[in-house]
Structure 1
Amino acid sequence: MRLFRYLAKEVLVSTAGVTLILLLVILSGRISNYLGRIADGKMTFESLFLILGYHIPSFVQMILPLAFFLALLLAFGRLYIENEMSVLFSSGISKIKLAGYTVGIALIISSVSASINFWLAPYSEYKAAEASQAQDQLSAFDLLKPGRFEGSGQRTTYIDSFSNEGWMNQIFLSDVTSKKNHSLPILTFAANAEQIRVSEQEDRNYLVFKNGTRYEGKPGTANYRITQFDTYAVRMESKEGRAIDDAYTKTTPDLLNSNTLLDKVELQWRISLTIIIPILAIIGLSLSQVNPRQGRFFKMLPAILLMIFYIALLIWGRTSLEKGKLPIQLGLWWIHGIFIFIAAVLFAQYNQVFERRRAKPPHAAAANTNEQPK
């Protein structure tokens, strides 16, 4: 058990470090994407970290098998380079027993992965979809920042400030309408404006302007109209929220009770991200053995390429299942079967099974030496 704790500590600490690094890389890309949406006025800054936090379990869901495989190669490669593995083998630890320890560590990671795949990731994706839908329900005026022009081209909005009562002060609104197949610019200036919900049952919202002027027409033409008003109300388009029923947001019991193709594929995907870890553990153990003169990274490239091919094949299989190009009865299991066979061959080579079979038995060699020609 002391040896198992030592190996588990080496691998698990490395897995946590690799997971954190890969997660930061993904988050940096997503943050830049969300900042672009905030700059375009499509979401609020306050919702950025909320939605991003809900997506983290899904990121870890994909990162964890890769991080574990890389951590296993790094940790065991270091043990071979520093001759610690040679000491273990000379102390009576067989490669079969080492494989048992490795699978035990993989089962720890698999249990963490299963809790994320079957419970945490679907729940967090559902909450992320709710938060995104709440952002979609916001109007352009909910996302306005005082002192900034929002929008692009001839559709632009500007407000000077917000009052304590929620009124927008000194508002400018530029829009374009179509009349008789011609684009007609409309400019609205108002001292104040406020959003008002008239009927919650029908979800009717109005933007009410106070004390302003409305200009309609192209400058320099005779067809121009100027309207001064005390109160001017514009009905705002309401956005209907759709039901959140995507397969990746459903709970695992719902997927088990569903007969929908996408739900069945999603269930197989969650199972695949769990059982891939023990398979990668045997492959990583077999490819981590290096000669101290070769360096710990000698077999790193072929191992990573094999892992990438495994993941890519699973993604291709999932896409083909969703499009109906592969039968759902075949599923993703044949891919795992291929790599279980590869893992078995690599482990047999790692355990020198083929070399022992090719070697001539000692009693056969003694019989040949004692045989006299007739």
Structure 2
Amino acid sequence: MTLRLFKYLAKEVLVSTAGVTLILLLVILSGRFSFYLSQIADGNMTFEFLFIILGYHIPSFIQMILPLAFFLSLLLAFGRLYIENEMSVLFSSGISKIKLAGYTLGIACLISLASATINLWLAPYSEYKAAEAYQAKNQLSAFDFLKPGRFEGSGQRTTYIDSFTPKEGWMNQVFLSDIVRKKEGNIPIQTLAAYAEQLEVSSEDNQKYLVFKNGTRYEGKPGSANYRITQFDTYAVRMENKDASVIDEPYTKSTLSLIQSDNRLEKIELQWRISLVVIIPILAIIGLSLSQVNPRQGRFFKMLPAILLMIFYIAMLIWGRTALEKEKLPMTLGLWWIHGIFIVIAALLFAQFNQLFERRKARLPKIDDKSEQPL
């Protein structure tokens, strides 16, 4: 009976948690997808990097979504059980509210285990890989984002290619317009070539060159005495080499390195990761206590105050993290005092849910103020 009941409750909550997590994840991904599409339209990203970077960010999205999804699913699942009088049947069968709290904490432990895996291992690893993908994207030149038959750029800084060769990837019929700053001012330069290709010279800095073949170079302002026309068979231009920076942001580091670190920001990041796991069992007790509704009230009667309390909890954690980073709070307090406040709130709500205060009032002796009648 006990195992079957736990499986039944776990199925109700976990299936709802998976559904709510998927919906919230799709909402967040749609917003990020729109942002990356704007970068593609501006010529700052390719579709290949869009899906790679977006995929690496998914664990970080889930680590914030999972506690919210679990809390909402707990309210919805248990609220339905109250509305359909299934909870009344359970209580009449000898299942106490304390035992129900044990089942709820058992389900919360399963969610906490998944959250710990994501927060302490998967999300930092994915963010590190996302940072590597960003660096690889930044190493691409403007010619890697060119589209055949389309002018890229604006003003006098414009590039155009007619097509790419299928196998070699050479750029055919290239037009490049640029400006060079000299003593006499800004000098416009136009380069026309039959084709061009990017070459990387093997050296210490792996310098890249753009090599034009069979073309003409125009330099100067039309009508001026310094106007020059140069025809060439091969013309190479050294491209700007972007150095890769060291990836050392706290959110990209492993949990083990954060534990061994004495850096303030890395200690805060460690507390934040643990907080996203600790919050789940606390929200479980709060959700259990606020899920009890009268069938006449409806399953959404207590959902609004419960959601507001959850939002306040998360907002407090975000504020506490920001205050720690700005050194407005001492590290001795950390984020633990916020969890302590909500543990007390959860305990009070559970005591009310378990009718502890009503029982104490019922046990108090009644005082009779009537005076004794004479015999």
Question: Is TM > 0.5 for Structure 1 vs Structure 2?
Answer: yes
Q: Tell me which amino acid in the other structure corresponds to 1:124.
A: S
Residues 40 and 151 in structure 1, CA contact (< 8 A), matched pair in contact too:
no
Q: Give the corresponding residue for 2:283.
A: 280
Bigger mean CA offset, 200-209 vs 281-290: 200-209
**Which residue identity is paired with 2:320?**
G
Q: Give the aligned residue type for 1:200.
A: S
Instruction: Give CA-to-partner distance per residue, 1:133-169, whole Å, 9 cap, x none.
Output: 1111111112222222222333221111122323211
- Are 1:87 and 2:89 counterparts? yes
Q: State the distance in 2 between where 1:219 and 1:314 align.
A: 64
What pairs with 1:131-280 in structure 2 (closer than 5 Å)?
A: 131-163=133-165, 164-180=167-183, 182-219=185-222, 224-280=227-283
Aligned to 1:64: 66
Q: Which amino acid aligns with 2:23?
A: I
- C-alpha displacement at 1:371, in angstroms? 9.0
Partner residue of 2:14?
12
CA distance in 2, matches of 1:108, 1:253: 23
Any idea what SS the aligned residue of 1:331 has? Answer: coil
SS in 1 for 2:46: coil
Gaps of 5+ in 1: none
Take 1:314 and 1:219, find their aligned partners in 2: how far apart are those partners?
A: 64
The reply on whether 1:300 has 2:300 as its aligned counterpart is no
- Residue 317 of structure 1 aligns with an amino acid whose one-letter code is G
Query: What secondary structure sits across from 1:214 in the alignment?
Result: strand
Amino acid at match of 1:335: I
Deviation string for 1:277-313 (max 9, x for gaps)?
0000001011111111111111111111111111111
Give the number of equivalent residue pairs.
371
Offset at 1:223?
A: 5.1
AA at the equivalent of 2:211: V
Q: Does 1:355 align with 2:324?
A: no
Structure 1 181/75 Cα, relative in aligned 2: closer, same or farther at 3 Å? farther
What is residue 49 of structure 1 aligned with on the other side?
51
Distance 1:204 1:360, change over 3 A: closer
Structure 2: segments with no counterpart, 5+ residues: none
Q: Following TM superposition, where does structure 1 have runs of at least 4 consecutive aligned residues deviating by more than 4 angstroms?
A: 219-223, 367-374
What secondary structure sits across from 1:142 in the alignment?
Answer: helix
CA–CA separation in structure 1 for the residues paired with 2:223 and 2:102: 85
DSSP-derived class of the 1:317 partner: helix
Deviations 1:90-144 (A, max 9, x none): 1111111111111110000000000111111111111111111111111111222
Give the distance between the partners of 2:16 and 2:269, measured in 1 at CA: 29
Equivalent residue for 2:128, pick from 119, 123, 126: 126
- What is the one-letter code of the residue matched to 1:12? L
Question: Structure 1 residue 230: deviation in Å?
Answer: 2.2
Alignment root-mean-square deviation, CA? 1.9
Q: 1:373 Cα deviation (Å)?
A: 4.5
In structure 1, distance between residues paired with 2:363 and 2:263:
58
CA distance in 1, matches of 2:269, 2:63: 13
93-102 or 31-40, larger mean C-alpha shift? 31-40
Match for residue 103 of structure 1?
105
How far did residue 34 of structure 1 move?
A: 1.2
Structure 1 stretch displaced more, 193-202 or 261-270: 193-202
Tell me the TM-score normalised to structure 2 length. 0.94
- Aligned equivalents of 1:310, 1:224: Cα separation in 2: 69
CA distance in 2, matches of 1:177, 1:209: 18
Identity between Structure 1 and Structure 2 (%): 77
